[in-house]
Structure 1
Amino acid sequence: MGDILDQWQRKAKDHQKVNKQFLQKLQTKKGKGTERLLPRLHDEAFSKIDCLDCAGCCKTISPRFKTPDIKRVSKHLGLKESVFIDAYLNLDSDGDYVVKSSPCPFLGSDNYCAIYEVRPGDCRNYPYTDSDQFYKRPNTTFLNSTICPAVYYVLEKLREKMSL
């Protein structure tokens, strides 16, 4: 995967303090300078990383299932919304519907998603490496850098390119 991605999980843990400080500074500066870099770094990361090799997100965190997501997925599965909710979802402490268990019940042993075509919006947008959510939600980005090699890659490359 390249030098930056060799042992990325260990490196993400080793760089926790510096990455957290960088993301906080980035948020304070409202991401100034990142808008032009993020799309290119996102594309670069995903030219080196295949999500199917990892699926760390699906194995460890749950997306929020908003009402349109619940309608779309339950229809796709041929279930009533209430049955889908009872079978697969719980309300979290923020009042959002999330999957009951990890890994995600729709993740196959081959790391393919059984509901990929109708997946929730959070899944479609993850890992936010090409949007302003990357710097607007520093705690989420920081956590994601320990779960997703693409987030780690973008964060490290961004730190190299920017001096804050």
Structure 2
Amino acid sequence: MNLDLYKKQALQKQKEHKKFLDGLKKKPPKNLDYIVQETHDEVFNEVDCLQCANCCKTTGPLYTEKDIERISKHLRMKQADFEAKFLRVDEDNDKVLQNLPCFFLNSDNTCSIYEVRPKACREYPHTDRKKIYQINHLMLKNTVICPAAFEFVEKMMKNISK
């Protein structure tokens, strides 16, 4: 998977993608959530995240208190020790990873805590959520990081113009 090519294409298409996503917000089709789910399924039948893992290498998820509780329990660590070892507080006052790539990313792009991974990781790249236009800014950002998000927006443009 050529990540540089995806990133380049995504950056070139930012204006076009933004215009399309803004249009969804202004006048969403009646069956938008259905089209989103169909498009999401279509994309993830073609894209294998294990070939990429760019999200785990370049962007750190936000850790909720529930995430911290669940993961530290799984790792048999005190929550305070887990936070001290892996997390920091960012400029938005969110708890995020101290370092990237993610400490839990294995060399084969699998996740060593997959079953208990943070909510943000489970939901990424957010291509299967209802009322998708509510996260336009995030979707645009994700198209530059995630080939699946890029493909999703490209296919949505085709599927909605049908």
| TM-score (structure 2 length as normaliser) | 0.90
Letter paired with 2:62: R
Partner SS, residue 98 of structure 1:
strand
Partner SS, residue 12 of structure 1:
helix
Aligned equivalent of 1:56: 54
* Percent of aligned pairs with the same amino acid: 43
The 3 A distance-change label for structure 1 pair 32 and 148 is farther
Aligned residues, how many?
159
Aligned equivalent of 1:160: 158
Aligned equivalent of 1:99: 97
- Give the Cα separation in 2 of the matches to 1:31 and 1:137: 16
Q: How far did 1:127 drift?
A: 1.1
- Give the Cα separation in 1 of the matches to 2:82 and 2:29: 39
8 Å CA contact 1:35–1:132 kept in 2: the answer is yes
- Give the Cα separation in 2 of the matches to 1:104 and 1:67: 18
Partner SS, residue 23 of structure 1:
helix
Aligned equivalent of 1:22: 20
Aligned equivalent of 2:43: 45
Q: How far did 1:31 drift?
A: 6.5
Partner SS, residue 152 of structure 2:
helix
The 3 A distance-change label for structure 1 pair 31 and 82 is farther
**2:68 pairs with 1:79:** no
Aligned equivalent of 1:11: 9
Larger relative helix fraction: 2
Letter paired with 1:123: C
8 Å CA contact 1:63–1:120 kept in 2: the answer is yes
Aligned equivalent of 2:66: 68
Alignment root-mean-square deviation, CA: 1.8
| TM-score (structure 1 length as normaliser) | 0.89
8 Å CA contact 2:106–2:112 kept in 1: the answer is yes
Q: How far did 1:27 drift?
A: 2.3
**2:147 pairs with 1:144:** no
- Give the Cα separation in 2 of the matches to 1:108 and 1:116: 11
- Give the Cα separation in 1 of the matches to 2:29 and 2:100: 32
8 Å CA contact 2:32–2:131 kept in 1: the answer is no
Partner SS, residue 82 of structure 2:
helix
Partner SS, residue 32 of structure 2:
coil
- Give the Cα separation in 1 of the matches to 2:32 and 2:148: 16
1:67-94: per-residue Cα shift (whole Å, max 9, x none)?
A: 1100010111111000000110011222
Q: Which runs of 5+ in 2 are unaligned?
A: none
Which of 124, 130, 142 lines up with 2:128 in the alignment?
130
Q: How far did 1:32 drift?
A: 4.9
Between 1:136-145 and 1:28-37, the stretch displaced more is 28-37
Q: How far did 1:95 drift?
A: 1.7
1:45-66: per-residue Cα shift (whole Å, max 9, x none)?
A: 1111110000011111111111
